[in-house]
Amino acid sequence: MNKQVDRERNVDTESKPDFAGPYGQLTPTGGGDIIPLVKDRLLIGRRGECDIQLKFANVSGQHCRLTLEHGYWFIRDLNSRNGIKVDGRPVIRKRLDPHCKVSIAKHHFTIEYEPQLLGAYGPPPADDDYLEDLMKSSLMDRAGLKKRDPKSPYSNRDLNE
C-alpha cells in the first residue's frame, strides 16, 4: 500500500490498491483482459451460467469455484477434466495467497487482492496442503499404530493377563 498525504487536511492516508473488482482481480499472465472479482463466491467454467466464463474447449462446463473465506480466496476443483493448479502444483482445494499463480486447465492467471481489506485478521486460515501429506501415510500410521514386528508378534500384549 502507498502512503499519501492529504494536502487539504495535512494527514497521512493509506491508499487502497486499485483492483478491477471490489474483491480483487485475476490477471492473465500471457496478456488479455483482467477479470474482476465481483462477488465472494464465483463459479468458473465454459457454460453461460458461470460467473466467470472461459470459453475454451479444455475448460469444463463448471470447472472450479472461488470462495472468499475469512478474507482469503480459496479455489476448489469441481471434478473438471483438465484440473487446476496453484503455483504449478495440482490441487483439489487450496487457499490462494495474494499474487500466487492459478492455472485453470492450461490458462494461467495471477490473483491479486488485499486480505485485510476483505476482512482478514490474524494468521491466514488453514490451507488444505496437509490433506495431501496425510493421504500419503497409511491408516495405521494416521491412527498412531505401528506394524507388529513379525519376530515378536506378541510384544504389545500383556502376558500376565
Report yes or no: 104 and 54 within 8 Å, Cβ to Cβ.
yes
Report yes or no: 96 and 51 within 8 Å, Cβ to Cβ.
no
What residue segments make up the domains of the chain, in order of their start? 24-143
Question: Per mean pLDDT, which range of 13-17, 36-40, 113-117 is the poorest?
Answer: 13-17
Question: Per mean pLDDT, which range of 47-51, 111-115, 141-145 is the poorest?
Answer: 141-145
pLDDT, greater one: 115 or 138: 115
Contacts of 43 (CB under 8 A, 6+ apart): 49, 50, 51, 52, 62, 65
Share of the chain above pLDDT 90, in %: 61
For 146-156, the pLDDT digits (tens) are 666 667 666 65
Residue 137 in grid coordinates: 501415510
User: pTM of this prediction?
Assistant: 0.72
pLDDT, greater one: 70 or 155: 70
Query: Does domain 24-143 correspond to CATH entry 1.10.10.10?
Result: no
For 79-104, the pLDDT digits (tens) are 999 999 999 999 999 999 999 999 99
Distances (CA, A) of 60 to 30, 48, 86, 88: 21, 12, 17, 19
Mean pLDDT of the chain: 83
